Homo-oligomer: A and B are copies of this chain.
């Protein structure tokens, strides 16, 4: 999630500027339906909408791509959408939120995509009494399954209002986080094994990256939950009681996803702790080896150093008579062996070897 690009401070509110990297092509699909009626077309001229607007059917206008500001402007005029809401549609990088403009509700959610990286795409909605406008950042076929359900006829979705259609889209948006969570869950498990068996600097960087992604998802998911909750409680009469039951289910899903997310966060903090302990452990291991080798050989080397001294045994009987002793050499080797064994015994008693 890139954060919202901001206008120069002092710009008049409601100024519509397309996002910098928005591709120019924009697809506009219209579906008008009621229990017994279904029509679907790609729109090229937005004036075509007017006819449907007056019919008793429910219309769903799906805009894919943000490259053409004038599309939004025309929709704004036809449906009386608030300029601030339109500005927010274009400012990708918004947090999920619900704004109540009395005649219509405006809400933003984000859909998750699992590409090389986890990405979230802004997804804006205008819900009025008999219309739903959905606006995606980039063209795609994200909602083909829902269109298919509409085409099939006489399904619940055809019998219900625009609010139920909105629910199905919200449900799809929220459910897009389940595969992402499953993917992250696998990464968490892999890291848990890695940190115990072969912790390395790469593990650390991986954990940091994971935490970063969880952090970003968290910043998307909590306000998503709140948005759905506000939608359930809105009091403009745009949401029926029946749809409220379905939104509650959707809300439960959001809570569940957040639950998984928070578990992942706690686990990755735990992994960090294990990693740090592992480092400490490894350092101890290294030092133990050094200490064992050093404390065995340093005294031995000292002893050999003693008998490497050149005191002149001829000058005095006190000067290193051992050097001429009959068993001098084997005796000193034996002595060294004993010293080494004593040391090893000491280490064993301390539990180091």
Contacts and interface: CB of A to CB of B under 8 A. Distances in A.
Interface of A: 3-4, 6-13, 82, 84, 87-88, 94-95, 97, 99, 101, 143-146, 149, 155-157, 168, 171-172, 175-176, 178-179, 181, 185, 192, 196, 198, 201, 204-205, 208, 211-212, 215-216, 219, 245-246, 248-249, 252-253, 255-256, 259-260, 262-263, 266-267, 270, 272-284, 286-291, 293-295, 297-302, 304-313, 315-316, 318-320, 322-330, 332-333, 351-352
A41 to B, nearest CB: 22
Copies in the complex: 5
B324 A329 contact: no
Nearest to A279: B280
A302 B297 contact: yes
Contact of A304 (B277, B309, B351): B309
B267 A212 contact: yes
A294 B332 CA distance: 21
Contacts of A291: 286-287, 289-290, 293
A78 B178 CA distance: 33
Contacts of A259: 3, 95, 219
A31 to B, nearest CB: 15
A295 B290 contact: yes
Contact of A310 (B145, B274, B323): B323
B332 A326 contact: no
B323 A315 contact: yes
A87 B95 CA distance: 30
A86 to B, nearest CB: 11
B171 A13 contact: yes
Nearest to A343: B293
B308 A310 contact: yes
Given A246-B13, A301-B305, A320 B310 contact: yes
B274 A12 contact: no
7 contacts: A6-B253, A10-B175, A294-B295, A298-B301, A309-B329, A318-B330, A319-B326
Contacts of A277: 204, 272, 275-276, 279
B310 A9 contact: no
Contacts of A295: 289-290, 293-294
Contacts of A294: 290, 293-295, 298
Given A287-B290, A290-B294, A318-B327, A215 B7 contact: no
Contacts of A155: 12
Contacts of A249: 13, 84, 87-88
Nearest to A307: B309
Contacts of A144: 10
Given A6-B175, A97-B252, A290-B287, A266 B215 contact: yes
B308 A270 contact: no
A267 B218 CA distance: 13
A246 B309 CA distance: 90
B293 A299 contact: yes
B245 A3 contact: no
A312 B314 CA distance: 12
Nearest to A249: B84
B284 A311 contact: no
Contacts of A270: 208, 211-212
